[in-house]
Amino acid sequence: MVQFLKKMKDLQPKHSVKYLLHKHLNSSSPGRPFSRLHASELTKPEGLCPRMYALADITHAKPKDEWLDASSAMTFQIGRDQEKNIVHWFADMDKAICHWKCIACGTLHEFQPRPTACKTCGVKRFDHKEIRFESADNSASCGIDMVVGLGEPKYRAVELKTIDKEQFKELKAPLAEHKWRTELYLRLISESDHPFAKKVNTQVATILYVSKGGFGCADDQLKKWGLYDNFSPFKEFEIKRNDASVESLAKRAKVVKDFRDGKVGMPAGLCPTAFCKRAGGCPVKSQCFSGEYPPEYDWKA
């Protein structure tokens, strides 16, 4: 083993910037704690299992970390950078409503246009922070990428999605998971008891897709608007609230909340056996099938 490791070390390039980047970007990303019920977890294709959250609460199980290779890390960073640019461009127009964190002293300026200067230290540079709302009914929460003022009675929630340029060209409608998640966001905002929620339109939102390739697609609409552009790297879709579409998601979140509030017993699970594909990736599989925590509440009935 020692000789093998020495050989591997000898093969590592001594003057390669490419090697250094790969070594630096390969990392483990910590899983999100189970304490918060994220809307994005509810809309995953496999669906959320309330029993997993209940068992994690009891056994103090930790979420599994996710390994990121250099390509994944680079893709995620490109998306984050583009999102930051979009938000700050809308802030330049005095239309972006966010939480703004001073990069010098860390003071948070909540739910407002970008400040001209920090109220604490006077510095004029800020990082935007998403606005998070939590449903008072089921405790599911959502982080809104950006809220904008469009001259409507209330602010408009905007979800920003960056996608590959080839996928962008084929895009004719919002991707199903994005539409579903945005419909859920509108419901969760409407159920939030936070004062900021009253200022947001909960009947309609916008998904803005941004191409990761600069030119995007030819767009005749731009000429009709009196613009000189021939191509657009943006596509927008208006999403209307549809509570019926997300009722099953809200129900699963409510099971977790009711368990945590002591209103129901241990929820039933979704896996038929410990050997199914879903159970293979579950952080509480051993506890779930140990026999120590029999299901007491069949929420699926």
CA 69 to CA 234: how far, in whole Å? Answer: 28
Please determine, for residue 5, whether its predicted confidence score (pLDDT) is greater than 70: no
User: Is residue 232 assigned to a domain?
Assistant: yes
144 and 253 housed in the same domain: yes
For the stretch 174-221, pLDDT in tens is: 999 999 999 999 999 999 999 999 999 999 999 999 998 777 889 999
User: Is residue 82 assigned to a domain?
Assistant: yes
For the stretch 242-286, pLDDT in tens is: 999 999 999 999 999 999 999 999 999 999 999 999 998 899 999
Q: What is the pLDDT at residue 8?
A: 58
248 and 104 housed in the same domain: no
User: Is residue 33 assigned to a domain?
Assistant: no
In the numeric block, which tokens belong to residue 23?
Answer: 């070594």
Contact 164, 171 (CB under 8 A): no
Please determine, for residue 7, whether its predicted confidence score (pLDDT) is greater than 90: no
129 CB-near residues (< 8 Å, 6+ apart): 98, 99, 100, 101, 108
Q: Binning pLDDT at 50, 70 and 90, where does residue 65 land? A: confident
CA 94 to CA 113: how far, in whole Å? Answer: 6
Q: Domain limits at 103?
A: 98-129
102 and 251 housed in the same domain: no
217 and 197 housed in the same domain: yes
109 and 244 housed in the same domain: no
How many separate domains does the chain show? Answer: 2
136 and 254 housed in the same domain: yes
User: Is residue 204 assigned to a domain?
Assistant: yes
Which has the closest alpha carbon to 37: 255, 262, 299?
255
Q: What is the pLDDT at residue 162?
A: 94
DSSP string, 157-200: EEEEEEE-HHHHHH-SS--HHHHHHHHHHHHHHHH--SGGGGGB
Please determine, for residue 57, whether its predicted confidence score (pLDDT) is greater than 80: yes
Q: What is the pLDDT at residue 215?
A: 79
Which CATH number do you get for residue 163? 3.90.320
144 and 179 housed in the same domain: yes
75 or 155, which is more confident?
A: 155
CA 103 to CA 105: how far, in whole Å? Answer: 6
Q: What is the pLDDT at residue 1?
A: 53
252 and 111 housed in the same domain: no
User: Is residue 178 assigned to a domain?
Assistant: yes
What residues does 96 pair with on adjacent strands?
A: 148
User: Is residue 13 assigned to a domain?
Assistant: no
Which has the closest alpha carbon to 249: 45, 36, 10?
45
CA 269 to CA 293: how far, in whole Å? Answer: 11
For the stretch 93-139, pLDDT in tens is: 999 999 999 999 999 999 999 999 999 999 999 999 999 999 999 99
User: Is residue 180 assigned to a domain?
Assistant: yes
What's the mean pLDDT when you consider all of the chain? 93
CA 143 to CA 159: how far, in whole Å? Answer: 9
